[in-house]
Structure 1
């Protein structure tokens, strides 16, 4: 398959994670799923464990992680489901996690996130959504680079969102120090950063056999929406309806499908720097005109290289 060909698969918006991974044997593979104790993270981890992988749930709440691990073991019969503490907004926590990891890592699913939170800053003064959704995952992936390289053909899965269509990365004021804070713009630029990470990560790590792809899981009712009121959701539904589209909810099992596809599908062997939705590579979209597709600014190699440099400098400061 030509590297420039758009990837299509037999799966769609209604496919589940279990259907996507059916017939794929992950025995001997080691996986990390951030945010693996809630929402689509649980079903992502369950599907990968069900295929035979050793899965580590990287979570803030280890008690919830242990309960989830017990449930996954009970439903899959795979006892190699582990729990480790990870707070992506706490760089000491990320460093402790990466330094404590031993051996190869075949699949890293950067799934955890925070959406549309009130204005909050980390101790470093970073805006919380960007700090969690991008900087934390960037530090995690780069900290695990050696483990990924050791695996041979490792994959990194960057869970983005259609909300990336709301905002590019505003390099002049990433952390809203000058402009007024707006929760959805902050979320949108963090999700654009998730796609740009896939673009530059694939380029930088090609010689290590590591590929990075981003995806939009779809709309799923989970704790991710804990900061979003029912009134806000209703306004979103009305806006979508006015655009001529429908806002439908996926089950968590369906929401995890694209993550699992990107993590395991033979169709993506050696393919990186792409953005997927509904189990298919997305086409370019014009922000403001659709909730589907990927913005050109999210795939811009110059912006991707700049973001990598800015993030590296931010972490070193």
Structure 2
């Protein structure tokens, strides 16, 4: 019987903030990209990295909004090494343009942006929007930036880090390889979201296997229940309030929600420790029935992770030929 690896534990927990996580870490000279950094945990992720001295690029759909966030972060951190660049993860041409324009080594990539339980919509490729945005867009971004991450892999201050921001919603669904884009089955926004979030974890599993020798550490992290964000705009507010009253959720501030991603992107003891799923700043145990926490077996399946990588590569290749 194969023994489960020891879970990673840290001095931090569900109450910790992103600023507390990096309080003793100097990121001077390191470059970071945070996607979706114009609201919620994305802003606080960027703020914490900037506060620790990193050069931070906000990869955002609305550059004007990004510039306003930069003014705020600059005022609170004193860091002038900030910029906003356009990136629409649902638009493969936008992702390709972003990658082509990146000329420097890259130390930290936080794949934070996402959409949640949207009505049924599709990209020009015919891809279901949640899977296209949450997984395929970030997959194209991370693989496209792999040379930049590898270039930073052996640098001072440790190797490069990639963080896939996922969700406890991954418990809802594995990846349905036979019908990822809901072409044959009825569209279910919750299942589509869950599938995309499982894909985020599987990406971390396979990227760690493929990229570890390049000095790149890849992990997935669930931020927790953060209500002060645009991510929940498609949810029924009464249902959200009822869920909060149920006691199954610990509501976090955006500063607390950003802590796990910041930890995965910066905490020195995680150097080389990847392919794992974290929540509340610690590696999560396997999910148990009746508990809305932990990581599902289907999200850590190495066979599914490799299959998803191959499928995603094929999807992007087919799209580039259109």
TM-score for both structures, normalised by structure 2: 0.94
Please give the alpha-carbon distance, in whole angstroms, between the structure 2 residues aligned to 1:111 and 1:127. 19
Deviation at 1:236, TM superposition (A): 3.4
Among 228, 236, 241, the alignment partner of 1:229 is: 236
1:136 to 2:137 alignment: yes
Q: Within 5 A, what are the aligned runs for 1:276-315? A: 276-286=278-288, 289-315=290-316
Please give the alpha-carbon distance, in whole angstroms, between the structure 2 residues aligned to 1:122 and 1:312. 17
**CA offset digits 1:247-292 (Å, max 9, x no partner):** 2310000000001100111120111100000000000003x52210
**CA offset digits 1:39-58 (Å, max 9, x no partner):** 10000000000000000000
Any conservation in 1 of the 2:248–2:292 contact (CA below 8 Å)? Answer: no
Question: Which secondary structure state, in structure 2, belongs to the residue aligned with residue 31 of structure 1?
Answer: strand
Any conservation in 2 of the 1:7–1:267 contact (CA below 8 Å)? Answer: no
1:121 to 2:128 alignment: no
Q: Tell me, which stretches of 5 or more residues in structure 1 are unaligned?
A: none
Please give the alpha-carbon distance, in whole angstroms, between the structure 2 residues aligned to 1:232 and 1:126. 28
Alignment RMSD, CA only?
1.1
Please give the alpha-carbon distance, in whole angstroms, between the structure 2 residues aligned to 1:269 and 1:205. 13
Aligned length: 309
Moved over 4 A (4+): none
Deviation at 1:235, TM superposition (A): 4.6
Please give the alpha-carbon distance, in whole angstroms, between the structure 1 residues aligned to 2:31 and 2:88. 20
Deviation at 1:5, TM superposition (A): 2.5
Q: Within 5 A, what are the aligned runs for 1:156-305? A: 156-221=162-227, 222-237=229-244, 241=246, 245-286=247-288, 289-305=290-306
Question: Which secondary structure state, in structure 2, belongs to the residue aligned with residue 157 of structure 1?
Answer: strand
Q: Tell me, which stretches of 5 or more residues in structure 2 are unaligned?
A: 154-158
**CA offset digits 1:176-206 (Å, max 9, x no partner):** 0011101110000000000000000000111
Any conservation in 2 of the 1:26–1:53 contact (CA below 8 Å)? Answer: yes
Deviates more, 1:299-308 or 1:264-273: 264-273
1:97 to 2:98 alignment: yes
**CA offset digits 1:84-125 (Å, max 9, x no partner):** 000000000000000000110000000000000000100000
Please give the alpha-carbon distance, in whole angstroms, between the structure 1 residues aligned to 2:189 and 2:78. 41
Deviation at 1:234, TM superposition (A): 3.4
